[in-house]
A and B are shown apart, each in its own frame.
Chain A
Amino acid sequence: MKKTMQKPILAVGPFHPLQEEMEFFQLTVDGEIVTDIDARISYNHRGIEKISETLQFDQVPFLVSRVCGICSASHPLAYVQAVEDIVGVQPPERALYVRTIINELERVHSHMLWVGLAGHFIGYDTVFMWAWKYREPVLDLLEEITGNRNNYGNVKVGGCREDIPNELKPKILKELDGVEKKTEMLTKAVLDDPILHARLKGVGVLSKEDAIAYAATGPTVRGSGIAIDVRQDDPYAAYADLDWNVISQPEGDVFAKTVVRLLEVLESLKMAKEAVTKLPDGPIATEVKEIPPGEGCGRAEAPRGETFHYVRSDGGNRPIRHKIRAPSYVNVPSFKASCIGQHIADVTITLAAVDPCYSCTERLAVVDGHNNIIHDYETLLQMSREKTARIKKEIGAPEFKMEDI
């Protein structure tokens, strides 16, 4: 057999020290330069949407908080907002504030986690350890409020499960002040470090046009100079009442994304403190008895970008369809625009710079191992329809459509 010249491929994954999750990037390399990139995910498909259809409406928040360990306040919030959209109920104001506080604390610890990891990815382990140490008080606060460091499960349809006791307010404010001081120090250290500048500036640039074309969200797109943010554009919870700014940087490189995240931490701390001081009195939940038939959408700005939940109800006690779009689903494909032509050393940090979360974004892909064919969603749907039609024909079933039911 004639041997063909193969392109050298550097495998980042399926298990690689770069990231703790399963993902597979095939970097086609020419020396140190990456000429092409192929991303494969779906090593950890958990079928969350299907499981959700088997659970009752009030059980689902606990499931979707496990979509992502770090965004475990945003996903339930988006789901709950979708269900509230169906019911048409407005949660009491105190519940909205509690939701805001928890979501902002989540953003703080998520961004600190990313800063630490980014330090680790470029070999700066001291930043890794320090950022994670600074993040600890936030997790402790979240534990004190909700009972868990992650996977809070604190929202329910019509309000919140756990309240923030008024006597906890001074402690929260004090701890947040401490975190703010340390974050300011870290921000200054990162912004002034000449080697970090050399290492991150002009690296993995995602241009404004590409960011729009790939429909990226969150800090990824705000680092490219597009100031979109669900909290600002479609305010939910108590965001409309608070005084805050959307942070964006025009450069589009990894450094800009770092700056956006660090400044967002400071902004989030400010918002959380304001929300704690303004926390109104009153109940934290209104009772919701039944979910009427209908469909609803919920959006929330997770630390990684916009997370979107669609829920359809048929009047029973379970959602009949629950669709989740996690932010990494749109952020991961943007590697195609930002990684090609870069050094390997730059590509690895660029891969990490969108703060990807692979298990959130897993989609089913059926791979036929013998012929190396990957079936995408459309082909699978097509195949499924053909099979249904074939079976119908075999058993002689009457023709009817979904709408007729």
Chain B
Amino acid sequence: MNILFWIIIVPGILVLGLVASWIVRKVSALVQWRVGPPLFQPAYDVMKLMGKEILIPQDAQRTVFLTAPLVGLAGTLLLSLMLWRITVAQTAFVGDIIVAIYLMVLPSLALILGSSASASPHASIGTGREMKLVMGYELPLVLAFVVVVIKTAGSVGPGEQLSLAAIAQQTPAFSISGMLAFLAALLCVQAKLGFVPFDIAEAETELGSGVLMEYSGALLAAWKLMHALMLVALPFFLVMVFLGGFHATLPPAELGIPVVIAALMVFAGTRLLAARSKFMDVLSLLIFIGLCVWLGLGKYVLILVLLILIKNTNPRLRIDQAMKFFWVYCGIALVAAIILASIGYYYDIHWL
């Protein structure tokens, strides 16, 4: 019975991922004065791709080419599952922050493997860029987690300094060093998701779609699903490490009724304002955000919106600029954050 539950939960995370990728597209569209896709568009895309022919380049390394998307998808699924078990269905031990860091590299590694196996000049340049990007953002990401570990070391129980479940009870972002680390980690997640300004490896107008150039059909659908899952897992991870996690309990009844009334009022308001155009889409966006807030997922939505805004207000960086940004600027900021956090820990000053 328990196993059956987990088999059902995994498609649930997938659905959440597809909804998140719809939010990304919809909010981007609204920022850019476009109408944007309907709610089910990401699902339609995946379903359509599933039915398409899979073309394998003649010179490709077939095994690696075919398994790479599945490896990436499996890694992200495992990460989401782990986060799910820490927040919703809590168990004694599900892995610590180190495991999560490993699982978070897996999609990028799979992308590198798959694209380098595809024997395409565009993909090979994309591979090189992805490698450099991974090397660029992994250092600040790990440093940011070091800050978190230092910040929370005093508060969590002995032997639990690396446990995600224990860290998720603390809010290290409410301090100078924690905020620095949070912002750096947010940009690293931006790069991990392959969003502008760090969509260097895909770079549509330079490399076609770079790393994904030779993928088609169900394999491309697997990449898309992986990306949708990452949209859930990575912001979730940030919420847990920096913002104190979320307690996925419904708010008490006396709070629930005003929320429902407010949602109904928003419903009526949008109906009056947006006579007939875009009405259903805006409504579903609002309902989803309302639901998130109600379920204590507001922090997740906040991070997602931050990611989308960064995506839509920046041009793509060059790979050398991106590496310099991560190593020099983020690196210096994080070293400063580590020093601050250590001082704060030593003298017991919480806001440092």
Does B196 lie within 8 Å of A32, measured CB to CB?
no
Assembled-state Cα–Cα distance A346/B204 (Å): 14
Given that A10-B125, A31-B128, A32-B125 are known contacts, is A17 also in contact with B208, CB under 8 Å in the complex?
Answer: yes
- Check if A345 sits within 8 Å of B34, measured CB to CB: no
B316 touches A344 (CB 8 A): no
Q: Does A380 contact B (CB under 8 A)?
A: no
Question: Interface of chain A, helix or strand or loop or mixed?
Answer: helix
- Cβ–Cβ contact B125 & A344, under 8 A: yes
**Which residue from B129, B205, B315 sits with its C-beta under 8 Å from A199?**
B315
Residue in B28, B33, B318 whose CB lies within 8 Å of A133: B33
Given known contacts A32-B125, A126-B32, A195 and B205 CB-to-CB distance under 8 angstroms: no
A199 touching B128 by the CB < 8 A rule? no
Which residues of A lie under 8 Å from residue B124 when comparing CB positions?
A: 8
Assembly CA distance A9 to B28 (angstroms):
35
Stretch at the interface among A44-52, A115-123, A170-178: A115-123
Q: How long is the Cα–Cα vector from A127 to B33 in the complex, in angstroms?
A: 11
Residue of A nearest to B198 (CB): A123
- Which residues in chain A, 5-28, are within 8 Å of chain B measured between CB atoms? 8-11, 16-18
Q: What chain B residues lie within 8 Å of A32 (beta carbons)?
A: 125, 128-129, 319-320
A68: chain B residues at CB < 8 Å are none
Instruction: From known contacts A32-B319, A126-B31, A130-B33, infer whether A345 and B206 are also in contact, taking CB-CB under 8 Å.
Output: yes
**Residue numbers in A under 8 Å from B23 (CB-CB):** none
Closest residue of B by beta carbon distance from A348: B206
Check B314 against A124 for contact (C-beta < 8 Å): yes
**B197: CB under 8 A from chain A?**
yes
* Chain B contacts for A9, CB-based, 8 A: 121
Interface membership of B277, Cβ < 8 A? no
Q: Which residues of A contact B315 (CB under 8 A)?
A: 119, 122-124, 127, 195-196, 199
Is the CB–CB distance between A345 and B318 below 8 Å?
A: yes
CB pair A125 B312 closer than 8 Å: yes
- Is B138's CB within 8 Å of the partner chain A? no
CB-nearest residue of chain B to A19: B205
Give chain B interface residues in 104-156, CB to chain A under 8 Å. 121-122, 124-125, 128-129
Tell whether A129 is near chain B: CB-to-CB under 8 Å.
yes
Pairs across A and B, CB under 8 Å, 24 listed:
A16-B208, A17-B204, A17-B205, A32-B128, A32-B319, A32-B320, A122-B205, A123-B196, A123-B205, A123-B314, A124-B196, A125-B312, A126-B31, A126-B313, A127-B315, A128-B32, A129-B32, A130-B32, A133-B33, A195-B314, A195-B317, A198-B317, A343-B318, A344-B125
Shortest beta-carbon contacts, A-B, top 10: A123-B316, A129-B32, A124-B315, A122-B315, A345-B318, A348-B206, A121-B205, A123-B196, A126-B312, A18-B205
